[in-house]
Each structure stands twice: as structure tokens, then as C-alpha cells.
Amino acid sequence: MFPLGIEPYLIGGIVIGIGVSLVYLTTGLHATQSSFFTTTLSWISKRPYFLQKKYLESRGWRMTFAIGVILGAFIYSITLATEGFFTTSVEWYRLAIGGFLVGFGTRLSKGCTSGHGISGLASLSTTSLLAVITFITIGILTALFVQNIGVIL
């Protein structure tokens, strides 16, 4: 079940927990990135939707948080990763379709899986609990469906 042992997962969970806690304790905000794209557009768009107060006030910490996530992954990939910088056998169009579906689902559910699953559940949000149950259920059903029909895209 844990091909690399349990330590990497345990350490990752502890680091994520500490990071989420630090963001909440220092800012009072949940460490989520589902509105990062919208917040980023508040810097360059003149449309009223992107200039809402909530996007303008959170764009600084969201950008810092996103850069930290990217930088952390980069540092890991050049120091500890055994498989190299980036590897996948998935075709680009499947990645694009998956990215679109994830983005659509994130906006539809008003949050991403990690936002609901980590920050939302930690704050005892009923909405996040229902979202996580939905994510897991649909994920299992999709995996079973794809397994039964084969990957045809």
C-alpha cells in the first residue's frame, strides 16, 4: 500500500498541516488556491468581477502561496526526486482535458479537493465534508468506469 514506506507520506502530511496552520494563524485565512486564477486576474483585468474587494485583498498572499508551492516542488525535484524533474506518459491532450475538468469542477464546487479536504474539514465545514464525499465518490466511480471500458481517449 505504501511502496516507499510510510515516512514520506507522514512527513508530507505534517508539513502540510504545519503550513496550513501557519497561514491560518498568521492571516486568519484558509490556505486554499481555488480562486488563485481569479485573484491573479485582478492585477491585469479591468472587469468589475475581478476587481471585487475579496480578490484585491487576497491576491498578495495567494501569489506568495502559489510561488511557494511551485518552488517547493522544484526544489524537491532537483534534490530528492529519483524519477527526475517531470515525468508522465500521459498525452498532452489528456492533461489539457483533465485540467479543464478540474478547473470547471473547482469553480462549480467553490473550492478544490485540497481546499475542502484540508482547510475545510479542519474548520469543521459541513459544505467541505459534503464536497469531499462527492469528490471521493465520483473519483471512485470514474476510476471503475475507465477500468471497465479501457482508456479510449
For the CA atoms of 77, 80, 81, 85, the dihedral, rounded to the nearest 10 degrees, stands at 30
Q: Average model confidence (pLDDT) for the chain? A: 83
pLDDT value at 1 more than 70: no
Instruction: Describe the crossing of helices 7-27 and 53-79 by its angle, rounded to 10 degrees.
Output: 150
Write out pLDDT tens, residues 113-123: 878 888 888 77
In three-state secondary structure terms, 52 is coil
Write out pLDDT tens, residues 67-119: 888 898 888 888 887 776 767 788 889 889 988 888 888 878 778 887 888 88
Q: How buried is residue 111: exposed, middle or buried, by Cβ count under 10 Å (0-12/13-18/19+)?
A: buried
- The confidence band for 2, taking pLDDT boundaries of 50, 70 and 90, is confident
Separation of CA 139 from chain center: 15
pLDDT value for 133: 94
- How far apart CA 153 and CA 151 sit, in angstroms, is 6
